[in-house]
Amino acid sequence: KTIDHILSLCHHAKEIAIMGASTCMAPAILKDYGVTVLAGSRVTDADKLLRVIAQGGGGQDVLKYTQRICVRLSARRA
Domain that holds residue 57: 3-72
The number of distinct structural domains making up the chain is: 1
Per the domain annotation, does 78 fall within a domain? no
Per the domain annotation, does 77 fall within a domain? no
pTM (2 decimals)?
0.76
CA distance 30 to 6: 13
Per the domain annotation, does 56 fall within a domain? yes
Alpha helix ranges (H) inside the chain: 3-8, 27-30, 46-54, 59-63
pLDDT in tens, 23-56: 988 888 888 888 999 999 999 999 999 999 999 9
How many residues make up the chain in this entry? 78
Per the domain annotation, does 27 fall within a domain? yes
List of residues 6+ apart from 38 with CB closer than 8 A: 17, 18, 19, 23, 24, 25, 27, 30, 70, 71, 73
